[in-house]
A = this chain, B = another copy of it.
Amino acid sequence: MIEAAEPDFPQAEYEARLDRAQRAMHADGIDALLFTTEAEMRYFTGFRTLFWLSPTRPWFLVVPKAGKPIAIIPEIGAALMRATWIEDVRCWSSPHEDDDGVSLLADALRGSTRVGIPMGRESSLRMPLNDLARIHEMLPGMEPVDATPMIQALREVKSEAEIATIAEICAIASRAFANAPKLFHEGQPLKETFRSFKIDLLREGAEDVPYLVGGADQGGYADVISPPGVKPLRAGDVLMLDTGATLRGYYCDFDRNWAFGHASDAAKRAYRTLYEATDAALAVARPGATCRDLYNAMAAVIDPEGKTGGGDVGRYGHGLGMQLTESPSNIHFDMTVMKPGMVMTLEPGMEVADGKIMVHEENLLITDGPPVLLSERAAPELPIL
């Protein structure tokens, strides 16, 4: 038996999540929710493990319209799940020759007609398609309903405990970014820049650094999703690092830019424009504003004549929490309305020149009043190291 000594949150947190979900289920006439993915299972149970990296075993959570969630999971997770607030934990020895939890899952869903399953934007299915087909065969009366809008709406508004955790990891990353002058220098291969920053994040208190991307090149960079190469930093380079570090399973997600030695006027100008675009979004980030409003506020600064659209990234920020990126998206078609408790990123980006781009990102909390920055605001002018 694992000591249930250090749950990420008190039980009341999970009770409140379940209560909100079951109210939404009642409103939508849904009998049960079925989840196969890490974030949703953790959201309702508190079950947190890196073991999801192994694709071998499926994990299932059924949320009934009344009563606690039911975990249907491989034996290897039984002790950890039983240390959470979940009581009904049904296990099998996995991998299994011919029934990897399918019969147990069908048993848990039997009697439920309208079953909510995430099937829409940002969702995936973490179980074999063949096994989902078997579930449908075993439960011919089951009517799947897309639970994507419901679970996204629930997760978008964070509790005070969640906000405190995100604020803490944002503060840790802010401290690490502030150490840049000690960590980075001309001549340093980009791989070593990444390595030293990752180690610094861990030293400053991050539990993990699942996401660290960036780029460096003369006056800007070509791309924001590549792994680092061995090319050394040179005078005139603009370095950008964007990190999703974690604490108790919650992410920060913001970046910083620095120039080495000197910076081109174009780079300085782009940096200032992105800073002002962020200001413009902060000015409208109030309850009642939509993601489209945030997008438009930034686009008006970056691209006042409306020439470039959203650019390659497609959006200027997103929700943030248990995942590096969550719904909603700051994009022209997302009409999600800001509510107090939402944690968002603002992530304007633009072309500097010659195919070089620059991006800028902050993390913030929507409140009844002005938004609260969770990341320590970037310097107003491009810092030169």
Interfacial residues, chain A to chain B (CB-CB below 8 A):
1-3, 5-6, 36, 48-51, 53-57, 74-80, 93-97, 100, 117-130, 146, 148, 191, 195, 198-199, 202-203, 207-208, 210-213, 222-227, 229-231, 244, 309-310, 312-315, 318, 323-327, 329, 331, 333-334, 355
Contact = CB atoms under 8 A, between A and B. Distances in A.
A109 to B, nearest CB: 16
Nearest to A39: B55
B213 A203 contact: no
A55 B329 CA distance: 12
- By secondary structure, the A interface counts as loop
A346 to B, nearest CB: 16
B124 A76 contact: no
A231 B5 contact: yes
| Number of identical protomers | 2
Nearest to A78: B312
A329 B95 contact: yes
B146 A48 contact: no
Contact of A128 (B36, B48, B121, B309): B121
Contacts of A310: 93
Contacts of A76: 224-225, 312-314
A54 to B, nearest CB: 4
A1 to B, nearest CB: 6
B124 A93 contact: no
A93 to B, nearest CB: 5
A77 B225 contact: yes
A123 B100 CA distance: 12
Contact of A210 (B210, B312, B314): B210
Contact of A129 (B125, B191, B333): B125
Contact of A74 (B207, B227, B231, B314): B314
Contacts of A96: 314
29 contacts: A1-B355, A49-B213, A49-B227, A50-B213, A50-B225, A51-B225, A55-B123, A55-B124, A55-B323, A56-B122, A56-B325, A56-B327, A76-B314, A79-B312, A80-B223, A93-B309, A93-B312, A93-B314, A95-B121, A95-B329, A117-B129, A119-B128, A124-B125, A125-B129, A130-B146, A198-B208, A199-B199, A199-B202, A207-B227
